[in-house]
Structure 1
Amino acid sequence: MLHLLFLTYTAAEEDAEPFVRDHVAFLEEHHGDGIFLVSGQTAPTTIGGAIIAQGVDRAGVEQIVRQDPFVTHGVAEYTITTIVPGRVHPALSALLAQSS
């Protein structure tokens, strides 16, 4: 199962600045545990960011995003889209098989 996480600012982008360091630590933690495969800012950055996550069910990913400092400080929220892969490029097959 894959999850597309879209982070949207609910306040001015400048309001999120005090929490960037903690948000980056949050990202690094979940990249380190193998749940976040890709993360980055969207273009334009005023929208927020996006993450591709795997290895947890929907409830698990919902719990994780509630811990993001941007969310806990009320400056952003997530929209989650869950994908059950039907067809997978061979380059990703082994990676996705590990999360099953």
Structure 2
Amino acid sequence: MLHLLSLHYTVSEHDAEPYVAAHVAYLERHHHDGTFLVSGQTVPTSIGGAIVAHGVDRPTIERITAQDPFVTNGVAAYSITTIAPGRVHPALADLLNPGA
């Protein structure tokens, strides 16, 4: 399963600034464990950010997003879109289907 995580500020970008360092540590932790494949700010940055995650089921990704310091401090919220990949570029096939 792949999950597209859209992070939307619920306050101004300025009001979220005190939590950026903790949010970056959260991102780094989940990149390191292999759950987050890609993360970054949206353009424009005032909207929030986006993450591509994999390797966990929907309930797990919901628990993971609930632990984001932006969420626990009430400055942002996630929308989650779960995808069952039907076609995958060959460059990603081994990454997304390690047991195949």
**Which interval holds the TM-score relative to the shorter structure?**
over 0.9
Does the aligned pair in 2 maintain the 1:35–1:53 contact within 8 Å? Answer: yes
Does the aligned pair in 2 maintain the 1:55–1:99 contact within 8 Å? Answer: no
Aligned to 2:63: 63
1: CA distance between counterparts of 2:40 and 2:99?
21
Are 2:68 and 1:79 equivalent residues in the alignment?
no
1: CA distance between counterparts of 2:99 and 2:14?
36
Please provide the CA RMSD for this pair: 1.2
User: 3-state DSSP class of the match of 2:87?
Assistant: coil
Aligned to 2:90: 90
* Structure 2: stretches of 5+ with no match in the other structure: none
> How many pairs are equivalent?
100
TM-score by length of 1: 0.97
1: CA distance between counterparts of 2:66 and 2:99?
22
Does the aligned pair in 2 maintain the 1:54–1:99 contact within 8 Å? Answer: no
Deviation of residue 99 (structure 1)? Answer: 7.6
Deviates more, 1:6-15 or 1:90-99: 90-99
Segments ≥4 residues shifted beyond 6 Å: none
Which amino acid in the other structure matches residue 86 of structure 2? G
2: CA distance between counterparts of 1:40 and 1:59?
23
Deviation of residue 98 (structure 1)? Answer: 2.3
2: CA distance between counterparts of 1:28 and 1:99?
25
